[in-house]
Structure 1
Amino acid sequence: MTARADLQAALERGIAALGLDLPGDAVDRLLDYQALLERWNATYNLTAVRDPAEMITRHLLDSLAILPHVQGATLADLGTGPGLPGIPLAIAAPGRQILLVDSNGKKVRFLREAIRALKLDGVRAVQSRVEDVQGQFDCVTARAFASLADMLGWGGHLLAPDGIWLAMKGKQPDDELPGVPAGFAVRGMHTLAVPGLSAERHLVVLGRVHD
Protein backbone atom coordinates (compact mmCIF):
# COMPACT_ATOMS: atom_id res chain seq x y z
CA MET A 1 0.00 0.00 0.00
CA THR A 2 1.38 3.38 -0.94
CA ALA A 3 1.07 6.29 1.45
CA ARG A 4 -1.50 7.87 -0.89
CA ALA A 5 -3.54 4.65 -0.89
CA ASP A 6 -3.60 4.70 2.92
CA LEU A 7 -4.70 8.33 2.95
CA GLN A 8 -7.35 7.59 0.31
CA ALA A 9 -8.74 4.71 2.38
CA ALA A 10 -8.94 6.92 5.48
CA LEU A 11 -10.59 9.73 3.53
CA GLU A 12 -13.12 7.40 1.91
CA ARG A 13 -13.99 5.86 5.29
CA GLY A 14 -14.49 9.31 6.73
CA ILE A 15 -16.68 10.49 3.86
CA ALA A 16 -18.82 7.36 4.24
CA ALA A 17 -19.10 7.92 8.01
CA LEU A 18 -20.27 11.50 7.35
CA GLY A 19 -22.91 10.10 4.98
CA LEU A 20 -21.77 12.33 2.11
CA ASP A 21 -22.26 11.62 -1.58
CA LEU A 22 -19.47 13.45 -3.41
CA PRO A 23 -18.63 13.81 -7.13
CA GLY A 24 -16.65 10.94 -8.65
CA ASP A 25 -13.37 12.88 -8.83
CA ALA A 26 -13.67 14.51 -5.39
CA VAL A 27 -11.51 12.05 -3.43
CA ASP A 28 -8.61 12.35 -5.90
CA ARG A 29 -8.86 16.15 -5.91
CA LEU A 30 -9.03 16.33 -2.11
CA LEU A 31 -5.88 14.19 -1.92
CA ASP A 32 -4.19 16.43 -4.51
CA TYR A 33 -5.03 19.41 -2.30
CA GLN A 34 -3.67 17.66 0.79
CA ALA A 35 -0.44 16.80 -1.06
CA LEU A 36 -0.03 20.39 -2.27
CA LEU A 37 -0.63 21.71 1.25
CA GLU A 38 1.88 19.24 2.69
CA ARG A 39 4.49 20.27 0.11
CA TRP A 40 4.05 24.02 0.66
CA ASN A 41 3.79 23.59 4.41
CA ALA A 42 7.36 22.30 4.58
CA THR A 43 8.58 25.74 3.44
CA TYR A 44 5.88 28.23 4.35
CA ASN A 45 4.44 26.89 7.62
CA LEU A 46 0.80 27.28 6.56
CA THR A 47 -0.62 24.94 9.21
CA ALA A 48 0.59 23.45 12.48
CA VAL A 49 -0.70 20.04 11.34
CA ARG A 50 2.27 18.24 9.77
CA ASP A 51 1.20 14.61 9.65
CA PRO A 52 -0.59 13.69 6.39
CA ALA A 53 -3.06 11.36 8.14
CA GLU A 54 -3.87 14.14 10.61
CA MET A 55 -4.45 16.51 7.69
CA ILE A 56 -7.10 14.11 6.38
CA THR A 57 -8.93 14.15 9.71
CA ARG A 58 -8.34 17.64 11.06
CA HIS A 59 -8.52 19.55 7.78
CA LEU A 60 -10.42 17.61 5.10
CA LEU A 61 -13.00 15.69 7.13
CA ASP A 62 -13.40 18.56 9.60
CA SER A 63 -14.25 20.86 6.67
CA LEU A 64 -16.53 18.35 4.96
CA ALA A 65 -18.52 17.83 8.18
CA ILE A 66 -20.33 21.14 7.58
CA LEU A 67 -21.22 20.38 3.93
CA PRO A 68 -24.88 19.43 4.68
CA HIS A 69 -25.40 22.91 6.15
CA VAL A 70 -23.91 24.87 3.24
CA GLN A 71 -26.46 26.54 0.97
CA GLY A 72 -26.80 29.13 -1.77
CA ALA A 73 -24.89 30.00 -4.94
CA THR A 74 -22.18 32.15 -3.34
CA LEU A 75 -19.90 31.56 -0.36
CA ALA A 76 -17.24 33.60 1.44
CA ASP A 77 -14.74 31.78 3.65
CA LEU A 78 -13.27 34.26 6.14
CA GLY A 79 -9.85 33.75 7.71
CA THR A 80 -9.52 30.76 5.41
CA GLY A 81 -5.79 30.21 6.11
CA PRO A 82 -4.66 27.55 3.63
CA GLY A 83 -8.23 27.20 2.31
CA LEU A 84 -10.21 25.62 5.14
CA PRO A 85 -13.06 24.87 4.86
CA GLY A 86 -13.41 26.69 1.51
CA ILE A 87 -11.30 24.48 -0.79
CA PRO A 88 -12.66 21.12 0.44
CA LEU A 89 -16.19 22.55 0.10
CA ALA A 90 -15.41 23.74 -3.45
CA ILE A 91 -14.19 20.27 -4.42
CA ALA A 92 -17.04 18.45 -2.68
CA ALA A 93 -19.83 20.64 -4.09
CA PRO A 94 -18.63 22.37 -7.28
CA GLY A 95 -20.61 25.07 -9.05
CA ARG A 96 -20.66 27.65 -6.26
CA GLN A 97 -18.87 31.01 -6.51
CA ILE A 98 -16.44 30.98 -3.57
CA LEU A 99 -14.29 33.80 -2.21
CA LEU A 100 -11.39 32.80 0.06
CA VAL A 101 -10.32 35.65 2.35
CA ASP A 102 -7.11 35.88 4.38
CA SER A 103 -4.85 38.75 5.41
CA ASN A 104 -1.66 36.63 5.28
CA GLY A 105 0.23 37.06 2.01
CA LYS A 106 1.97 33.67 1.94
CA LYS A 107 -1.31 31.87 2.62
CA VAL A 108 -3.00 33.76 -0.21
CA ARG A 109 -0.12 32.87 -2.54
CA PHE A 110 -0.71 29.23 -1.66
CA LEU A 111 -4.46 29.62 -2.22
CA ARG A 112 -3.90 31.05 -5.70
CA GLU A 113 -1.55 28.20 -6.59
CA ALA A 114 -4.08 25.67 -5.26
CA ILE A 115 -6.89 27.26 -7.30
CA ARG A 116 -4.68 27.09 -10.42
CA ALA A 117 -3.27 23.60 -9.84
CA LEU A 118 -6.59 22.04 -8.83
CA LYS A 119 -8.54 23.94 -11.54
CA LEU A 120 -11.09 25.21 -9.01
CA ASP A 121 -13.63 26.96 -11.21
CA GLY A 122 -15.46 29.85 -9.58
CA VAL A 123 -13.02 30.08 -6.65
CA ARG A 124 -11.07 33.28 -5.98
CA ALA A 125 -8.61 34.25 -3.24
CA VAL A 126 -8.18 37.77 -1.90
CA GLN A 127 -5.59 39.12 0.54
CA SER A 128 -7.57 41.46 2.73
CA ARG A 129 -8.82 42.18 6.19
CA VAL A 130 -12.36 40.88 6.51
CA GLU A 131 -13.81 44.32 7.22
CA ASP A 132 -12.49 45.63 3.88
CA VAL A 133 -14.07 42.90 1.71
CA GLN A 134 -17.03 43.97 -0.43
CA GLY A 135 -20.08 42.04 -1.63
CA GLN A 136 -22.79 39.89 -0.13
CA PHE A 137 -22.89 36.11 0.03
CA ASP A 138 -25.56 33.46 0.52
CA CYS A 139 -23.27 31.57 2.88
CA VAL A 140 -20.36 32.75 5.02
CA THR A 141 -18.02 30.26 6.69
CA ALA A 142 -15.44 30.91 9.40
CA ARG A 143 -13.36 28.20 11.06
CA ALA A 144 -11.81 28.95 14.46
CA PHE A 145 -11.44 32.50 13.20
CA ALA A 146 -12.63 34.75 16.05
CA SER A 147 -15.37 35.13 18.63
CA LEU A 148 -18.93 35.31 17.29
CA ALA A 149 -19.05 38.99 18.29
CA ASP A 150 -15.82 39.80 16.42
CA MET A 151 -16.51 37.77 13.30
CA LEU A 152 -19.97 39.32 12.85
CA GLY A 153 -18.64 42.75 13.80
CA TRP A 154 -15.95 42.56 11.13
CA GLY A 155 -17.76 40.54 8.46
CA GLY A 156 -21.49 40.81 9.11
CA HIS A 157 -21.90 43.16 6.13
CA LEU A 158 -20.96 40.24 3.85
CA LEU A 159 -24.03 38.17 4.72
CA ALA A 160 -26.90 38.44 2.23
CA PRO A 161 -30.34 39.25 3.74
CA ASP A 162 -31.48 35.63 3.66
CA GLY A 163 -28.00 34.13 3.93
CA ILE A 164 -26.60 31.85 6.63
CA TRP A 165 -23.41 32.21 8.61
CA LEU A 166 -21.65 28.97 9.55
CA ALA A 167 -19.24 29.46 12.45
CA MET A 168 -17.07 26.41 13.13
CA LYS A 169 -16.11 26.06 16.78
CA GLY A 170 -14.47 23.54 19.09
CA LYS A 171 -16.35 23.47 22.38
CA GLN A 172 -19.96 24.69 22.38
CA PRO A 173 -19.48 28.49 22.61
CA ASP A 174 -22.26 29.27 25.09
CA ASP A 175 -20.21 32.11 26.58
CA GLU A 176 -20.07 33.83 23.17
CA LEU A 177 -23.82 33.81 22.48
CA PRO A 178 -24.63 36.96 24.50
CA GLY A 179 -22.09 38.82 22.33
CA VAL A 180 -23.92 38.18 19.03
CA PRO A 181 -24.50 41.70 17.62
CA ALA A 182 -27.94 43.24 17.17
CA GLY A 183 -29.40 42.34 13.80
CA PHE A 184 -28.17 38.73 13.97
CA ALA A 185 -29.61 35.67 15.67
CA VAL A 186 -28.52 32.09 16.30
CA ARG A 187 -30.57 29.78 14.08
CA GLY A 188 -29.09 26.54 15.32
CA MET A 189 -26.25 24.82 17.15
CA HIS A 190 -25.02 21.46 15.88
CA THR A 191 -22.59 18.99 17.40
CA LEU A 192 -20.35 17.68 14.61
CA ALA A 193 -18.96 14.17 14.72
CA VAL A 194 -15.75 14.33 12.69
CA PRO A 195 -14.56 10.77 11.92
CA GLY A 196 -11.28 10.02 13.67
CA LEU A 197 -11.33 13.19 15.76
CA SER A 198 -11.84 12.92 19.51
CA ALA A 199 -11.94 16.69 20.11
CA GLU A 200 -15.27 18.48 20.34
CA ARG A 201 -16.58 20.24 17.25
CA HIS A 202 -19.64 22.47 17.02
CA LEU A 203 -21.28 24.47 14.26
CA VAL A 204 -23.15 27.66 15.07
CA VAL A 205 -25.64 28.71 12.38
CA LEU A 206 -26.55 32.40 12.38
CA GLY A 207 -28.73 34.61 10.23
CA ARG A 208 -29.97 38.15 9.95
CA VAL A 209 -32.98 39.27 11.98
CA HIS A 210 -35.73 40.63 9.73
CA ASP A 211 -38.04 43.31 11.03
Structure 2
Amino acid sequence: MNTPIDAALRTELEAGLRTLSLSTDLAEPLLAYLALLLRWNGTYNLTAVRDPREMVVRHLLDSLAMVPHVDGLATLADLGTGPGLPGIPLAIAVPGLHVTLVESNGKKARFMREAIRQLKLTNAEVAESRIEAVDRPGAFDAITARALATLPDILHFGGHLPRADGGRLLAMKGVDPVDEIAALPAGWQLESVTPLSVPGLDAERHLVVVARV
Protein backbone atom coordinates (compact mmCIF):
# COMPACT_ATOMS: atom_id res chain seq x y z
CA MET A 1 0.00 0.00 0.00
CA ASN A 2 1.34 3.44 -0.93
CA THR A 3 2.20 5.84 1.84
CA PRO A 4 -0.10 8.92 1.82
CA ILE A 5 2.99 11.12 1.45
CA ASP A 6 4.25 9.96 -1.93
CA ALA A 7 6.49 11.49 -4.58
CA ALA A 8 3.56 12.94 -6.52
CA LEU A 9 2.34 14.75 -3.41
CA ARG A 10 5.79 16.24 -2.82
CA THR A 11 5.99 17.33 -6.47
CA GLU A 12 2.58 19.02 -6.22
CA LEU A 13 3.52 20.84 -3.03
CA GLU A 14 6.88 21.98 -4.42
CA ALA A 15 5.16 23.31 -7.56
CA GLY A 16 2.72 25.23 -5.38
CA LEU A 17 5.56 26.65 -3.28
CA ARG A 18 7.33 27.89 -6.41
CA THR A 19 4.10 29.52 -7.64
CA LEU A 20 3.87 31.34 -4.29
CA SER A 21 7.55 32.39 -4.62
CA LEU A 22 8.46 30.31 -1.56
CA SER A 23 11.45 28.00 -1.11
CA THR A 24 10.92 24.33 -1.92
CA ASP A 25 13.02 23.62 1.20
CA LEU A 26 9.75 24.18 3.09
CA ALA A 27 8.31 21.00 1.58
CA GLU A 28 10.05 18.71 4.07
CA PRO A 29 8.64 20.20 7.32
CA LEU A 30 5.25 20.88 5.67
CA LEU A 31 4.94 17.25 4.59
CA ALA A 32 5.99 16.11 8.08
CA TYR A 33 3.14 18.21 9.49
CA LEU A 34 0.75 16.80 6.89
CA ALA A 35 1.76 13.21 7.67
CA LEU A 36 1.12 13.80 11.38
CA LEU A 37 -2.24 15.42 10.62
CA LEU A 38 -3.27 12.46 8.45
CA ARG A 39 -2.27 9.99 11.16
CA TRP A 40 -4.12 11.81 13.96
CA ASN A 41 -7.11 12.60 11.77
CA GLY A 42 -7.92 8.92 11.42
CA THR A 43 -8.57 8.71 15.16
CA TYR A 44 -9.50 12.20 16.31
CA ASN A 45 -11.32 13.70 13.29
CA LEU A 46 -9.35 16.96 13.36
CA THR A 47 -10.41 18.09 9.88
CA ALA A 48 -13.18 17.11 7.45
CA VAL A 49 -10.66 17.15 4.59
CA ARG A 50 -9.24 13.63 4.34
CA ASP A 51 -7.66 13.39 0.90
CA PRO A 52 -3.91 14.18 1.12
CA ARG A 53 -3.87 16.07 -2.19
CA GLU A 54 -6.84 18.14 -1.16
CA MET A 55 -5.04 18.88 2.12
CA VAL A 56 -2.00 20.17 0.21
CA VAL A 57 -4.16 22.73 -1.59
CA ARG A 58 -6.85 23.60 0.95
CA HIS A 59 -4.70 23.45 4.08
CA LEU A 60 -1.04 24.04 3.22
CA LEU A 61 -1.02 26.24 0.11
CA ASP A 62 -4.12 28.15 1.19
CA SER A 63 -2.42 29.02 4.49
CA LEU A 64 0.88 29.90 2.79
CA ALA A 65 -0.81 32.39 0.45
CA MET A 66 -0.80 34.66 3.54
CA VAL A 67 3.00 34.71 3.86
CA PRO A 68 3.59 38.12 2.17
CA HIS A 69 1.06 39.66 4.56
CA VAL A 70 2.69 38.39 7.77
CA ASP A 71 6.29 39.02 6.75
CA GLY A 72 7.61 41.72 9.04
CA LEU A 73 5.23 40.94 11.91
CA ALA A 74 6.77 39.76 15.19
CA THR A 75 3.70 38.20 16.83
CA LEU A 76 0.50 36.66 15.48
CA ALA A 77 -2.43 35.01 17.27
CA ASP A 78 -4.26 32.44 15.15
CA LEU A 79 -7.81 32.30 16.54
CA GLY A 80 -9.85 29.10 16.40
CA THR A 81 -6.94 27.49 14.60
CA GLY A 82 -8.31 23.93 14.69
CA PRO A 83 -5.37 21.63 13.93
CA GLY A 84 -3.08 24.64 13.36
CA LEU A 85 -4.29 26.32 10.19
CA PRO A 86 -2.98 28.71 9.02
CA GLY A 87 -0.71 29.14 12.06
CA ILE A 88 1.57 26.10 11.77
CA PRO A 89 2.33 26.47 8.04
CA LEU A 90 3.00 30.18 8.65
CA ALA A 91 5.33 29.38 11.58
CA ILE A 92 7.21 26.93 9.34
CA ALA A 93 7.51 29.42 6.47
CA VAL A 94 8.32 32.56 8.54
CA PRO A 95 10.78 31.64 11.32
CA GLY A 96 10.91 35.24 12.60
CA LEU A 97 7.18 35.20 13.35
CA HIS A 98 6.01 33.96 16.76
CA VAL A 99 2.60 32.31 16.38
CA THR A 100 0.19 31.67 19.26
CA LEU A 101 -2.33 28.98 18.28
CA VAL A 102 -5.61 29.63 20.10
CA GLU A 103 -7.92 26.61 20.27
CA SER A 104 -10.39 25.46 22.95
CA ASN A 105 -10.80 21.89 21.65
CA GLY A 106 -8.57 19.64 23.74
CA LYS A 107 -7.91 17.03 21.04
CA LYS A 108 -6.83 19.67 18.55
CA ALA A 109 -4.67 21.42 21.17
CA ARG A 110 -2.94 18.10 21.99
CA PHE A 111 -2.30 17.46 18.31
CA MET A 112 -0.74 20.90 17.85
CA ARG A 113 1.54 20.46 20.87
CA GLU A 114 2.75 17.18 19.40
CA ALA A 115 3.25 18.81 15.97
CA ILE A 116 5.25 21.66 17.53
CA ARG A 117 7.39 19.11 19.42
CA GLN A 118 8.05 16.87 16.44
CA LEU A 119 8.72 19.74 14.05
CA LYS A 120 10.86 21.55 16.65
CA LEU A 121 8.94 24.78 16.06
CA THR A 122 10.46 27.15 18.61
CA ASN A 123 8.34 30.02 17.25
CA ALA A 124 4.91 28.50 17.97
CA GLU A 125 2.91 27.88 21.14
CA VAL A 126 -0.59 26.61 21.93
CA ALA A 127 -3.09 28.55 24.02
CA GLU A 128 -5.79 26.00 24.90
CA SER A 129 -8.55 28.48 25.59
CA ARG A 130 -11.66 30.14 24.33
CA ILE A 131 -10.70 33.22 22.34
CA GLU A 132 -12.34 35.73 24.66
CA ALA A 133 -10.60 34.15 27.68
CA VAL A 134 -7.05 34.68 26.37
CA ASP A 135 -5.76 37.20 28.90
CA ARG A 136 -3.11 38.90 26.79
CA PRO A 137 -4.61 42.27 25.81
CA GLY A 138 -2.58 44.16 23.22
CA ALA A 139 0.05 41.42 23.07
CA PHE A 140 0.01 40.77 19.31
CA ASP A 141 0.89 42.69 16.17
CA ALA A 142 -2.01 40.95 14.48
CA ILE A 143 -4.66 38.29 14.86
CA THR A 144 -5.82 35.98 12.10
CA ALA A 145 -8.74 33.66 11.55
CA ARG A 146 -9.59 31.27 8.73
CA ALA A 147 -13.20 30.22 8.17
CA LEU A 148 -14.01 31.01 11.80
CA ALA A 149 -16.77 33.62 11.92
CA THR A 150 -17.86 36.99 10.56
CA LEU A 151 -15.46 39.94 10.88
CA PRO A 152 -17.61 41.62 13.59
CA ASP A 153 -17.75 38.36 15.58
CA ILE A 154 -14.00 37.78 15.32
CA LEU A 155 -13.40 41.29 16.67
CA HIS A 156 -16.04 40.84 19.37
CA PHE A 157 -14.23 37.80 20.77
CA GLY A 158 -10.60 38.58 19.89
CA GLY A 159 -10.42 42.33 19.39
CA HIS A 160 -8.65 42.80 22.74
CA LEU A 161 -5.59 40.88 21.51
CA PRO A 162 -4.02 43.16 18.84
CA ARG A 163 -1.85 45.99 20.11
CA ALA A 164 -3.46 49.39 20.58
CA ASP A 165 -1.06 51.12 18.19
CA GLY A 166 -1.61 49.66 14.73
CA GLY A 167 -2.93 46.22 15.68
CA ARG A 168 -4.64 44.38 12.84
CA LEU A 169 -6.98 41.54 11.96
CA LEU A 170 -5.88 39.51 8.93
CA ALA A 171 -8.96 37.50 7.98
CA MET A 172 -8.99 34.76 5.35
CA LYS A 173 -12.27 34.91 3.42
CA GLY A 174 -13.79 33.41 0.30
CA VAL A 175 -15.70 36.08 -1.61
CA ASP A 176 -15.22 39.74 -0.73
CA PRO A 177 -17.31 40.07 2.50
CA VAL A 178 -18.93 43.42 1.72
CA ASP A 179 -21.74 43.07 4.28
CA GLU A 180 -19.34 42.05 7.06
CA ILE A 181 -17.10 45.02 6.29
CA ALA A 182 -20.09 47.35 6.48
CA ALA A 183 -20.85 45.98 9.97
CA LEU A 184 -17.38 46.49 11.47
CA PRO A 185 -17.58 47.68 15.09
CA ALA A 186 -16.49 51.12 16.26
CA GLY A 187 -12.74 51.46 16.66
CA TRP A 188 -11.92 49.35 13.59
CA GLN A 189 -11.68 50.27 9.92
CA LEU A 190 -11.00 48.45 6.68
CA GLU A 191 -7.42 48.77 5.48
CA SER A 192 -7.43 46.51 2.42
CA VAL A 193 -9.07 43.60 0.63
CA THR A 194 -6.55 41.59 -1.41
CA PRO A 195 -7.50 38.74 -3.78
CA LEU A 196 -5.30 35.71 -3.13
CA SER A 197 -4.32 33.19 -5.78
CA VAL A 198 -3.96 29.74 -4.21
CA PRO A 199 -2.29 27.17 -6.51
CA GLY A 200 -4.75 24.39 -7.34
CA LEU A 201 -7.75 26.05 -5.67
CA ASP A 202 -10.65 26.82 -8.00
CA ALA A 203 -12.41 29.23 -5.67
CA GLU A 204 -12.24 32.87 -4.65
CA ARG A 205 -9.98 33.79 -1.74
CA HIS A 206 -9.48 37.22 -0.21
CA LEU A 207 -7.35 38.51 2.64
CA VAL A 208 -9.22 41.22 4.50
CA VAL A 209 -7.06 43.51 6.66
CA VAL A 210 -8.88 45.46 9.36
CA ALA A 211 -6.91 47.98 11.42
CA ARG A 212 -7.52 49.38 14.87
CA VAL A 213 -8.33 53.08 14.54
With normalisation by structure 1, the TM-score equals: 0.94
Structure 1 residues 79-123: Cα deviation after superposition (integer angstroms, max 9, x where no partner)? 000000000000001132211001111100101111111111021
Which region of structure 1 is more displaced relative to structure 2, 54-63 or 93-102?
93-102
Offset at residue 179 of structure 1 (A): 1.4
Contact 1:95 1:121 in 2 (8 A): no
Partner of 1:168: 172
Counterparts of 1:171 and 1:84, CA distance in 2? 19
Q: 1:18 aligns with which of 17, 20, 25?
A: 20
Partner of 1:184: 188
Partner of 1:139: 142
- In the alignment, does 2:201 pair up with 1:200? no
Give the match's secondary structure for 1:167. strand
Which region of structure 1 is more displaced relative to structure 2, 125-134 or 58-67?
125-134
Aligned-residue identity in percent? 59
Greater per-residue strand proportion: 1
Read off the aligned partner of 2:190 and give its amino acid letter: V
Offset at residue 164 of structure 1 (A): 2.4
Map 1:49-88 → 2, pairs under 5 A? 49-70=49-70, 71-88=72-89
Counterparts of 1:200 and 1:97, CA distance in 2? 28
> Structure 2: where are the runs of 5+ without partners?
none
Counterparts of 1:72 and 1:65, CA distance in 2? 16
Offset at residue 58 of structure 1 (A): 0.3
Read off the aligned partner of 1:184 and give its amino acid letter: W
Offset at residue 51 of structure 1 (A): 0.4
Structure 1 residues 10-36: Cα deviation after superposition (integer angstroms, max 9, x where no partner)? 1111111112246x3x21000000000
Counterparts of 1:20 and 1:117, CA distance in 2? 22
Counterparts of 2:115 and 2:171, CA distance in 1? 24
Contact 1:64 1:89 in 2 (8 A): yes
Counterparts of 1:198 and 1:183, CA distance in 2? 35
Partner of 1:157: 160
With normalisation by structure 2, the TM-score equals: 0.93
